[in-house]
Amino acid sequence: MGFYAMKRSAHGGRHLLAAVASAALAVSGLSAVAATAQETDTDQPSSEPAQIQEAVLTELTKSGEATFWVHFDARPDMSQFAHIADWDARGIAVYDALTSTADAAQADVRSELDGHGLSYETYWATNAILVEDADADVVQDIARAPGVEGIYGTFAYEAPETKPAESEHALNAVEWGVRDINADDAWSQGVTGEGIVVANLDSGVQWDHPALVNSYRGSSGGTVTHDYNWFDGTPDKEPAPWDWDGHGTHTMGTMVGNDGGSNQIGVAPGAQWMAASTDLTDASMFAAGEWFLAPTKVDGTDPDPTMRPHVINNSWGSELPSNDPFMEDIIESWHAAGTFSVFSNGNEGPGCATSGSPGSRILTYSVGSYDSFHSISGFSSRGPGQDGEVKPNISAPGSAVRSSFPGGQYGTISGTSMAAPHVSGAIALLWSENSTAAGDVAATRALLDGSAIDSEDLQCGGTAEKNNVFGEGRLDAYQLIFGDEPPVPGPAITVDPSSIENSQEADTTTEHTLTVGNTGTEDLEFTITEVEGSGAPVVALPQGADRSHASAETDGGPSAPAVVEAAEQLQAVASLTEGFDDVNTLPADGWAIKNNSEPVGATTWFQGNAAEVFPSHEGAPEAYVGANYNNAGASPGNISNWLMTPELDLVNGSEFSFWTRTVANPADFVDRMEVRLSTSGASTNVGTGYDGVGDFDTVLASVNPDLTATGYPGEWTEYTVSIEGLDEATTGRIGFHYWVPAGGPLGNNSNFIGVDTVSYEAVDAPPPVPACEVVDAAWLSVDPVAGTVAPGGSQEVTVGLDSAGLAEGEYTAALCVESNDPVNPVVNVPVTLTVTDDAPVEPALVQRISGENRYATAAEIAAEFPEGVDTVYIANGTEAADGADALAAGAAGAKGALEFIPDVTPEGDPAPILLVKNNQIPQATAGALAALDPAEIIIIGGTGSVSTGVEETLGESADVRRIAGADRYETAALIAAEYGSVETVYVATGQGDMDSGLALADALTAASLAGSEGSPVVLTRSGSLPAATAEVITELGVANIVVIGGTGAVSDDVLAQLNELAPTERVAGANRYETAVALTAGYGADADMLYIASGTNFPDALSGSSLTGSQSAPLLLTRQDHLPAAISEEILRLSPQGITIFGGTVAVNTDVEADLQALLDTTSTD
């Protein structure tokens, strides 16, 4: 376990205790069980002793005593706190649950330890006790104690060795990583992280560093206090923040650093910071993690959960690939408290499945590293992680990151440790601006995922949008904050495209992709139904209706004391206000009255009586509605009198309020009123008999339900109820039910109540969900027809259009996409099929020839050669070989087999180049050889490049010949010698490698041109002409020599030496890209095909040079992430009808592909 920094200045950091290689795995027993979210009954005796880790038993045998962890299985349900909106209350609730659970679970064991006089430390966040120097009897007793899950050994870790790193960038006020994620653009909008507190669990922080002192929470307000802001988990227990390594000061600087001048190193300079230091022992890590949940004073007293940080950066993890659940219970507790934790993904790249724990875990949000060219850092660990989870989750700047160092200095480090704080700072910016997202870990993860810049790299699996190299893509802080609204609670559907249109001939089938996405926070479930048009209506979403108010002033009155029916309403109302100025007008306004009292009395609901009883709540003194004991015709009787509102729009969350009172409290005669709900539209069915309720079967409120003398208010009192629990929006009425059966408690019925100021307001209701009309369109198919999409994810659906048997014309239909999105439950995608007589013109598309690695790409290129390949060239494709052998073979491969190969025509056929490792034939290469079945194989290079074992294996299926010199120059010369005699020879530098490229790019493009002319390429040193090169040029009897590249590649001295052998000219541009343009100057316009290769990532292009030469097709170079201007101009001049890229998106990314497509759209005429 260590910090994830690759290179940093040496500052005398101390070394920690070394650990065995399996340390992280050993600790897993302590944390794995802690990840369960269930309460455990510790009062029940264990059926058998808890497990004791072998390391503890070994220590007991060796020393007679052992120091160990006792872990308990009790754990509160951590999902119960997410609904708590108040930040302070949420933190307190989590703290109380964890501490009370641990206190109860640990009580018996603590008591036993006290009895033995042993020293121990308790930990409530992970529910464990660290016991010191206990003997075997104690260990066995504890193992049998109730609630003990297991006993585990302790471990300590060693920080990784570090080295200085050179910055790749000139100093700039705003550091490159901060600019790259567009954090400075967020600053321009006034978003700097104010109000947010970030933290790191690291090696400590120099608190008074010029770039950090002003943002330290402990120094705000003009005074300095380290209470609640600093925890020292090292043995030193320093009272003020310090840094024993430099790593923590650096990561904190990337989060918040700013000296107010030329060192704007932090993403969120307006945020405040706190910190915890660790010496990387398990006890230190657990204590620090616990402290973040409830920070304390420096002396460890007075824990206060309200002082916890919003974001915790964790630039540490296992140094070996691992999915071990270390500290997972503590991390889960952070999230439960609303604190977002960010983790580095590890520095074990470039292999797949190299993520370190905890970053590899599903629970954590981990960060990979890329450089300033947006290429993934070679050291950045790749996924997949736990259970195939895509890892990292996102990537951020991590190569050559400049930030603060102890001593008030600044320095540069590389590592995923440097990438993670960019994300932590971006979250601080987001939460500062978006209070809705603050504390919502799931929603913030979805926002990070959705705003990331897609970065395709499929070498470890995944998709262009989400893969195990970049994760969701590159961090974009501005898009994170301003790009989209916060994720919609629940599922939220997106469908792309919004319509599908296609023209095709009769009796043909085409396929199209419909993508169903989910921008919400819960799983989206969808189904797709075909709905035929042209006679069958397409289901459309209903349009919202204009809402009217219920208040009206018209005359009318009850027709009888018992039943007053409401006038017919044209539609339900969404808003109701009633002050009862004239009760006689209620029926005309939609109100209804029904007196079901037994026997029915002389009165029903009536106008208020201010003179004799009490005045109204508001308005005119008698402006309220009343009911009294005379509702029943006898005493004692059964009073059951109903006053029903107009028909209302009923929507969950809507509120209904009213005021009511009786004559006095306490009352001599008691009253009771129920408020009941009917969801049956305009129905006024209240059943029969005094105890019937009919359709009004839901009680919303009851005033004085127990019929007590003090239960009904004697003054006007407001009651408010909420409509909840509806399956969907509907209509219905609310009824006031004056209900005092059997004469009430005293047997003489009731007294008098009034109701006033009734109000109802429906919240905006979602439209009713229309059912998809299932009418099969025979020419339209969908696969799959249903699916589930996780938050932030998407699923592709294949839509088939089959014009078999269809007459010429236009056919319309729709795809009806139904889902559990509560806001947008039905989405219709119109589909139009046009059947024509003529085949549509197919647009020219940029093609890509690539495999999952350089060997597979070479095989794919070989498959593009015409049938009947006689010869194959074999070269070493590893980085150590630098590609020089394959490069020299490119021109020869374009010509085909050379004359010394038996049984081959003198002119030969084009020959592909395949790549091998020194002592291994990759599977892709073996497959390509089997498919090509060549008669001859030419190995380029000596046994140091391609071993005799590989040669023997190749010889089992073909005649094998090796061309090898003492070095790359002599090998190229030997290949050129086989041409016999030529008019022209091309000379390029052989100095360079696959990392720097240097002038190897010149030789690469020269191989393509030379191959098309049947000319060889030989190599030279930059400052001197190798003897082998001079000799072969002389032997070939060339008439002219073409030097490729500028004087930095081939010096004027070498040019002069060549000129003595034959007339020599130089073809060069200002850089490798312009040199490639100069080499294609002889190609005319309207080429059938143009090839594009990376100017920095050569293996794919090396294999492609023989193909381009054999087709006499131009080859140009590009940068990985953008197309140089000179290349764009040359493409327009060449006006190709097709463009093919060599290699995957690691070599040439999708942005370049899009630019090439735009150019091809301009140049192609087919």
Q: Which residues of 170-196 are buried (b: 16+ CB within 10 A; e: fewer)?
A: eeeebbbbbbbbbbbbbbeeebbbeeb
Nearest of 109, 196, 218 to residue 426 by alpha carbon? 196
Residue 83 known to be catalytic: no
* Collapsed DSSP state (helix, strand, coil) of residue 1139: strand
CB atoms within 10 A of CB 683: 17
At 385, is the secondary structure helix, strand, or coil? coil
Nearest to 195 by CA among 365, 427, 422: 427
- Supply 388's token pair: 């195939």
Cis amide prior to 358 (ω within 30 degrees): yes
Q: Where are the beta strands (DSSP E) in 323-451?
A: 340-344, 365-370, 394-397, 401-405, 409-413
Looking at 963-999, list the stretches that DSSP marks H as alpha helix, in order from N- to C-terminal side.
968-977
Do 629 and 738 contact (CB within 8 A), yes or no?
Answer: no
Phi, psi (degrees; rounded to nearest 5) at 1154:
-65, -40
Per-residue CA distances from 1128 to 275, 490, 1075, 1124, 1157 (Å): 51, 46, 14, 7, 11
**Non-local CB neighbours of 395 within 8 Å, separated by 6+ positions:** 367, 368, 369, 370, 376, 380, 419, 455, 469, 470, 471, 473, 474, 475
77 as an active site residue: the answer is: no
1120 in Cβ contact with 1152 (< 8 Å): yes
Q: Got the DSSP string for 685-701?
A: ---SSTT--TT--EEEE
Burial, 63: exposed, middle or buried (Cβ in 10 Å; 0-12, 13-18, 19+)? exposed
The backbone torsions φ and ψ at residue 939, rounded to the nearest 5 degrees and listed phi first, read: -90, 130
Closest CA to 411 of 208, 244, 250: 250
Distance of CA 20 to the CA centre of its chain: 34
**Active-site residue, from 180, 202, 259, 695:** 202
E strand or H helix at 1134, and its extent?
Answer: helix 1125-1134
Catalytic residue among 417, 1022, 1106, 1110: 417
Residues 76, 99: Cα–Cα separation, whole Å: 10
DSSP readout, 1076-1124? HHHHTTTS-SS-S-EEEEESS--HHHHHHHHHHHHTT--EEEE-SSS--
Q: Whole-angstrom Cα distance, residue 870 to residue 886?
A: 18
Residue 188 tokens read as 């321009």
Q: Find the catalytic residue in 71, 209, 247, 335.
A: 247
What Å distances lie between residue 477 and 251, 374, 558, 992, CA to CA? Answer: 17, 16, 67, 38
User: What residues pair up with 502 in beta bridges, in sequence order?
Assistant: 833
| 3-state helix, strand and coil shares in percent for the chain, rounded to the nearest 5 | 25, 25, 50
Residues 6+ apart with CB under 8 A from 734: 644, 645, 648, 656, 675, 676, 677, 678, 700, 760
Distance CA 254, CA 424 (A): 9
417 is catalytic: yes
Pairing relationship of beta strands 2-3 and 316-317 according to DSSP bridges = antiparallel
**663: enclosing H helix or E strand:** none
Bridge partners of residue 606, in order along the sequence: 626
* Distance (Å, whole) CA 791 – CA 447: 10
Give the pair of three-digit tokens for residue 575.
């808003």
Cα 590 from Cα 104, distance rounded (Å): 61
Residues with active-site annotation: 202, 247, 417
